[in-house]
Amino acid sequence: MSPSGHPPNRLAREKSPYLLQHAHNPVDWFAWGEEAFSAARTGDKPILLSIGYATCHWCHVMERESFENEATAKFLNEHFISIKVDREERPDVDQIYMKALHATGQHGGWPLNMFLTTDLKPITGGTYFPPQPAYGRPSFLQVLETISNLWKTDRSKLLESADSLASVLGPSQAEPGNIPGVSSFEKVIQHAKHSFDEIRGGFVTNGPNKFPPSMNMLFLLQQFDHSKDPELLAMVETTCDAMKRGGIYDQIGGGLCRYSTDHDWLVPHFEKMLYDNALFARTLVELFRITGKERYKLWACDIFNYIERDMTSPEGAFYSAEDADSEGEEGKFYVWKSQEIDDELKLHGIDLEDRKRIARFWGLSARGNFENHCILHEPTTREEFLRGAGLEADVWDKTLLRIRELLLAKRSIRIRPLRDDKVLTSWNALMISGLARAGFVFNDSQLIDRARRAANFLLKHLLTEKGLLRRYRDGEARFDATLHDYASLGLAFVDLYQATFETEWLLRSENLAKEILTRFAAEEGGFFDTMANSKDLIVRTSDVYDGVEPSGNSATIVLLLMLAGYGFTEFHSVAEKSIRRFAETLETNGPAHSFMLLGLDLFHRPPSEVALLAGNDTETRRLLDRLRHEGPMFGIFAGSKTDAAVPLLAGRPAISEKSTFYVCKNMACAYPVHTADEAMQLISQTAS
């Protein structure tokens, strides 16, 4: 028996931390699968499908209020088959029924609670339902009673609704169109400029929340590489600076929270997600590459340090998330009383003047800024603070580092939020890409080693003879990988190749791309999110929305074009066909597809292809160093030795045992040169 007094239900057999959180509910939960589907058919009961994830605050709330409630559980057990799904394990299931919810005119979110027929068609649903009528919503039990009564007395009405919803769940039927031209980028840029929050950074939205706009910022930086428009760079710098100073960033332990509940980036939703930190770190790396400003390198490394300390398994893989809640309260682990900080610093010998400075630096007050506590943030810029305090930057940085260490040690004895320690392929791939890219740009072999170690973990535990799997936890690898998993891992392998020139990574990326064409390609262009053998799904979706992470289609297009640049030219026509498939979407709603726009730019303005031969002499090191700082975001460069397995290197030998550089466009190369300056001049001449 559990502390709640309830015996374990079927979810106790699962590995998902989210499902295990519900393993002692009085609800007779099933996991998604044939056992549940058969029970619904045999019992002639509708299905309650409840989808969430382990670090979801409102999922916790609804569990306490409804799924632990004896009366609610009794009604569910008598009249429904109840299924729990971890959306992070099964994004394919979540995507189908979230699309169904949107089709009813409702906003999405989690928990997602959908009612299904016995053949898995969606009837209706919602997100969080309160235990009593509130927020303009009926109580959860009222909803259950209504659905149950209609199932018994007017089932045809429910089935009609289900057929109607099911009919809109498949991929868009838009015809392939002409590939949008370079002018389409300007429309998206103008939209960004119009919606940019000049005071607080980020981009204005209709709701109160601000999410990290990392992929939009990567697009703007890519366009800056071409245009050198200072306004594009200023938007990204202003946003990154504001986010790093805000409460959305953990000022003590590092790492970015999922979103801010206000437009000032002050009050976060305190959960931390691996993908957010990977994409934000990648943005900081590109900012450092472009500007050379040391703070962006330090901030990226601060994120990587957080990931290494708190989110890395002993084998080197990366965990998924940390919860917002601890001890039943959101944010309790992260917030402080100002006196608590002052007492702790005084205890460790920090003098009064520095304690006063830290209070100003982090906006501390007895009154607080969040439920009588303080969310640490920097209310003024670092420069303004230093001028006001009359301090040199290096002196303050040493003091701040010491204070962070003291407060991190103090915080570490608190009860921590739940850490979701499952390993997801696509999320790990995003962090591998971030580390590998940072390792290259920063010329830091330790970051590259961490990326390589995580990649080897995925190869060992999640790449099988039958294909790639999505989730690993507690010794078990499970669930067929989605398109996003394949494409993101393929891109991670490209980043690892560029950081190491180890041919195996590029060839593994090529193999994954071939698997994508075999398992996911749609006849009309583009790709399905799931494989054809997914028998527990009522439709195959084909998503292109770049929300909090790149869509599978967007990541695939970028991957195919990158591999084509290395000489695997058969992928170029597939990418072109895919872009045509989504032409209308890109033309009409480009800002929602920022990662696919990165691919569209690669299609129109492919970078020079650079082959570096003959080892690690001075000129080779000089050229690599210049590529680190002057090369584009998605460069194509191969090297270290002639290797026929990499088409860009095949047939291009070193000459007279000197370092030899070939600069090519569409695999047609200029005459080989031997100095970094000559190579960079050719790269400039061949730039699109």
Between CA 126 and CA 1 the distance in angstroms is 32
Q: What is the pLDDT of residues 399-422, one digit of tens each?
A: 999 999 999 999 999 999 999 999
Between CA 122 and CA 158 the distance in angstroms is 9
Mean per-residue pLDDT, 323-352: 96
Between CA 92 and CA 427 the distance in angstroms is 15
pLDDT at 2 over 60: no
Between CA 630 and CA 661 the distance in angstroms is 16
**Integer distance in angstroms from the first to the last C-alpha of the chain?**
67
Identify the band that residue 674 occupies on the pLDDT scale cut at 50, 70 and 90: very high
Mean per-residue pLDDT, 240-257: 98
Between CA 352 and CA 688 the distance in angstroms is 58
pLDDT at 642 over 70: no
What's the token pair of residue 96?
């189908």
Triad 471, 473, 475: Cα angle to 5°: 115
Q: What is the pLDDT of residues 114-135, one digit of tens each?
A: 999 999 999 999 999 999 988 7
Mean per-residue pLDDT, 662-679: 92
Q: Are 335 and 370 in contact (CB under 8 A)?
A: yes
From residue 397, alpha-carbon distances to 17, 208, 287, 404, 637 in Å are 39, 34, 21, 10, 37
Q: What is the pLDDT of residues 62-72, one digit of tens each?
A: 999 999 999 99
Mean per-residue pLDDT, 316-334: 95
Indicate the SS3 state at residue 471.
strand
Between CA 504 and CA 511 the distance in angstroms is 10
Percent of the chain with pLDDT over 70: 99
Q: Which of 169, 167, 166, 147 is nearest to 158 (CA)?
A: 147
Only one residue has tokens 């965990």, namely 319
Only one residue has tokens 């690669």, namely 602
Q: What is the pLDDT of residues 195-206, one digit of tens each?
A: 999 999 999 887
Indicate the SS3 state at residue 366.
coil
Q: What is the pLDDT of residue 533?
A: 84
Bridge partners of 336, per DSSP, are 374
Between CA 375 and CA 336 the distance in angstroms is 7
Q: Are 94 and 138 in contact (CB under 8 A)?
A: no
Query: What global pTM score does this model have?
Result: 0.96
Q: What is the pLDDT of residues 453-477, one digit of tens each?
A: 999 999 999 999 999 999 999 999 9
Q: What is the pLDDT of residues 163-196, one digit of tens each?
A: 999 998 987 777 889 999 999 999 999 999 999 9
Between CA 338 and CA 550 the distance in angstroms is 40
Nearest 10 degrees: Cα torsion 472, 328, 243, 389: -130
Between CA 14 and CA 8 the distance in angstroms is 11
Mean per-residue pLDDT, 659-667: 91
Between CA 151 and CA 658 the distance in angstroms is 79
Q: How would DSSP label each residue in 389-446? A: HT--HHHHHHHHHHHHHHHHHHHTTSPPPPEE--EEHHHHHHHHHHHHHHHHHHT-HH
Q: What is the pLDDT of residues 511-546, one digit of tens each?
A: 999 999 999 999 999 999 999 988 899 999 999 999
Q: What is the pLDDT of residues 8-37, one digit of tens each?
A: 999 999 999 999 999 999 999 999 999 999
From residue 621, alpha-carbon distances to 144, 442, 505, 624, 669 in Å are 67, 13, 21, 5, 21
What is the average pLDDT value for the chain, to the nearest integer? 95
Bridge partners of 424, per DSSP, are 471
Q: Are 571 and 563 in contact (CB under 8 A)?
A: yes
Between CA 371 and CA 79 the distance in angstroms is 41
Identify the band that residue 667 occupies on the pLDDT scale cut at 50, 70 and 90: confident
Between CA 680 and CA 622 the distance in angstroms is 10
Q: Determine the angle formed by the axes of helices 594-604 and 214-227, rounding to 10 degrees.
A: 20
Between CA 311 and CA 539 the distance in angstroms is 35
Mean per-residue pLDDT, 630-658: 87
Between CA 327 and CA 251 the distance in angstroms is 21
